[in-house]
Amino acid sequence: MAGRSSSATALRRLMTEYKQLTSGGSPDGMFTAGPISESDFFTWEALICGPKDTPFEGGVFAAKLTFVRYVITPKFDIYHTETDCSPPPQPSDYPLSPFKMKFDPPLFHPNIYADGNVCISILHTPGDDPTMYEQASERWSPVQSVEKVILSVISMLAGKLNQSTRMSWITDHPAFNQEPNLESGANIDCCKLYRDNREEYERIVRESIKEQLGL
């Protein structure tokens, strides 16, 4: 009974967010997001434009948002992909818990796993922080939303921008306008390259976008 109640709450919240997104649009037209079908409101697709004046400029990136819970046993890491989770999905308790976000195809970025899953503070639940690199204010809470998460991800892709190129929607909130987290990154090789050879990192990103566009 509790599962039905939480799923109903999640559905109402998602319908409200979808209505707001479709009526107001996204800041600077940077993304679209919505359910993949009317029969499945717990699986969304987002299309995200690469931020201007960054290596991701010109790309349009598809991401899957999954609003279900998985029962995680000790052998599973909380950041494992959904294909690694053998237990069946449980009823959604969104917005008490965050959703999963996965780029397909994956993006080459320090905070995106090789399989496309996004590792960002705003999608981490409150609680213990074994790496000690996150502030509690940056993590998930029920006041967050699909829009706030996607804007945080776009800001993550953009990194720190000069004031002249700063996107109009970026605020002074700690989740925005930050360099990638290299201390607890998702893609270790990418973290090393970003830190040691930024020019080569940016070249690889640009080449991957050209490849996606068939150029």
Q: Which ranges in 34-187 belong to alpha helices (H)?
A: 146-158
- pLDDT for res 178: 62
Quote the pLDDT of residue 3. Answer: 53
What angle (nearest 5°) sits at the alpha carbon of residue 84, between those of residues 79 and 86?
120
Distance CA 196, CA 189 (A): 11
Burial class (CB in 10 A: 0-12, 13-18, 19+), 93: middle
Q: Check if 49 is active-site.
A: no
- Give the alpha-carbon dihedral of 81, 139, 143, 152, to 10 degrees: -70
- Overall average pLDDT of the 92-108 stretch: 94
Report cis status (omega within 30 of 0) of the bond before 95: yes
Catalytic choice (49, 85, 119, 191): 119
**CATH class of segment(s) 2-212:** alpha beta
**Which residue in the block uniquely carries the two structure tokens 């109009």?**
168
Amino acid 191: pLDDT: 95
Confidence of residue 131 (pLDDT cuts 50, 70, 90): low
Dig out the tokens for 132 from the structure: 């000690």
**pLDDT tens digits for 188-215?**
999 999 999 999 999 999 999 999 888 7
In this predicted structure, the answer to whether residue 18 has a pLDDT above a threshold of 90 is yes
SS3 47: strand
Domain edges within the chain: 2-212
Query: Are the C-beta atoms of 47 and 152 separated by less than 8 Å?
Result: no
How far is the first Cα of the chain from the last one, in angstroms, to the nearest whole number?
53
